[in-house]
């Protein structure tokens, strides 16, 4: 039987079991790397460095995980903090690397033109709206969970999601018809 | 209704735009950079505890002239006046009861909050 995230965390805590932590990384790497790629506007190398940093930081601080939220929510929060610290260091966010971004996308699942427009529209959103939309609409977090990750009030998350969605809908109006 | 459909459409497209990212050695890179697990001697703890207790008992026995003080103190206890024994029993009973009441009040306060 497959162990739950909580079971794997317990193994890391009790036995310092790095294989159990490896399983946690394997389970969550895609969503964390995906979120960071979107936040860094397609800078894959930077996003992967940040994701690596986030997982190492999570391992070092795993004793502070109290199980009040889901392990994935806790990871998102660490990853978002890594991104924010890096962005603060760089002062400004890096620009979108269109070519690399397109190469990563799979044209079979969504029309490439729509995806391009969607990514472009996302990248135009202010960071607070983009983060809220990505967490809630793309990664399926509840508003409450997103508020924990972003460390902002619940009402602000709802407003940011609503505004972000409205802007995306306006930009992509032609595709929706 | 239209608004909900638009919302679903947008969420669906956003989710499709985030395909699964293959591991491609990412996990291995993370594991290589983790700090080495601490060497733990937890299994030695009970042995250390038992050994320390045995040593302390042996030292006490030797330094107290074969535990002669125990016999002396036991004799003293048997000569305590009965009123003192009753008073001591009453006092300890009340102390335990007060502790129990305080614990119950604190627990009921936690449950109510």
ipTM of the prediction = 0.77
On whether residue B61 sits in a domain, the answer given is yes
Tokens of B19: 């395909």
- Total structural domains in chain B? 2
Please tell me the least confidently modeled range out of A98-102, A157-161, A166-170, B21-25.
A98-102
Please indicate, yes or no, whether residues B73 and B90 belong to a single structural domain of this protein. no
Label residue B14 by pLDDT band (50, 70, 90).
confident
Among A124, A131, A115, residue whose Cα is nearest residue A95: A124
Once rounded to an integer, what is the mean pLDDT over residues A25-39?
93
A1-96: CATH class: mainly alpha
- Is B18 part of any domain? no
Of B9, B17, B21, the CB nearest to A30: B21
Q: Residue B91: its pLDDT value, please?
A: 96
Q: What mean pLDDT, rounded, does chain B reach? A: 85
Q: Do B13 and A22 touch (CB under 8 A)?
A: no
Is the pLDDT at A155 greater than 70, yes or no? yes
Residue B65 inside a domain? The answer is yes
Same domain assignment for residues B86 and B75: no
B39-64 mean pLDDT: 86
Q: Quick: pLDDT tens for B27-46.
A: 999 999 998 877 666 678 88
* Contact A100/B at CB under 8 A: no
Rounded Cα distance between A43 and A159, Å, is 27
CB neighbourhood size of A162 (10 A): 13
Q: Contact at 8 Å (CB) between B27 and A25? A: yes
Domain boundaries defined on chain A? 1-96, 105-177
The mean pLDDT value for A103-126 works out to 70
- Domain limits at B75? 44-79
Could you tell me the pLDDT band of residue B7, with boundaries at 50, 70 and 90?
A: low
CA distance A163 to A127: 12
User: Quick one: pLDDT at residue B5?
Assistant: 64
For the structural domain made of A105-177, what CATH number should be given? Answer: 1.10.10.10
> What helix, strand, coil percent values describe chain B, rounded to 5?
75, 0, 25
A29-33, A125-129, A150-154, B77-81: lowest mean pLDDT where? B77-81
| Residue B95: per-residue pLDDT | 96
Q: Which of A8, A14, A16 to mutate to test the interface with B (most CBs of B within 10 A)?
A: A16
- C-alpha distance from B47 to closest chain A C-alpha (Å): 20
The Cα of A148 is separated from the nearest Cα of chain B by a number of Å equal to 21
Q: Is A16 left (phi over 0), alpha (psi -120 to 50) or beta?
A: left
Contacts of A55 in chain B (CB under 8 A): 30
Residues of chain B in contact with residue A52, where contact means CB-CB under 8 angstroms, are 26, 29-30, 33
The pTM score is: 0.65
Residues 6+ apart with CB under 8 A from B62: none
Residue A98 touches partner B, C-beta closer than 8 Å:
no
The minimum CA-CA distance between B53 and chain A, rounded to whole Å, is 27
């Amino acid at each position: 039987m497959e162990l739950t995230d909580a079971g794997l965390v317990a193994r890391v805590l009790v036995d310092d079991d790095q294989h159990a932590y490896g399983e946690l990384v394997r389970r969550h790497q895609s969503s964390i790397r995906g979120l960071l790629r979107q936040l860094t506007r397609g800078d894959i190398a930077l996003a992967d460095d940040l994701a690596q940093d986030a997982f190492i930081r999570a391992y070092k601080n795993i004793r502070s995980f109290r199980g009040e939220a889901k392990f994935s929510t806790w990871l998102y929060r660490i990853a978002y903090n890594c991104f924010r610290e890096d962005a603060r260091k760089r002062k400004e966010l890096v620009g979108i690397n269109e070519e690399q971004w397109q190469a990563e996308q799979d044209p079979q699942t969504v029309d490439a033109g729509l995806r391009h427009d969607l990514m472009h529209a996302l990248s135009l959103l202010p960071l607070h709206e983009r983060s809220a939309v990505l967490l809630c609409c793309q990664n399926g977090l509840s508003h409450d969970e997103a508020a924990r990750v972003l460390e902002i009030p619940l009402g602000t998350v709802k407003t940011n999601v609503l505004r972000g969605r409205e802007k995306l809908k306006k930009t992509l109006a032609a595709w929706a018809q | 209704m239209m608004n909900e459909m638009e919302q679903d459409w947008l969420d669906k497209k956003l989710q499709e735009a985030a395909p699964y990212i293959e591991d491609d050695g990412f996990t291995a890179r993370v594991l290589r950079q983790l700090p080495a697990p601490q060497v733990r001697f937890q299994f030695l703890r009970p042995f250390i505890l038992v050994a320390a207790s045995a040593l302390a008992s042996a030292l006490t026995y030797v330094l107290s002239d074969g535990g002669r003080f125990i016999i002396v103190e036991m004799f003293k206890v048997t000569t305590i006046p009965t009123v003192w024994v009753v008073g001591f029993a009453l006092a300890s009973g009340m102390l335990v009861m007060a502790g129990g009441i305080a614990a119950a009040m604190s627990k009921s306060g936690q449950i109510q909050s």
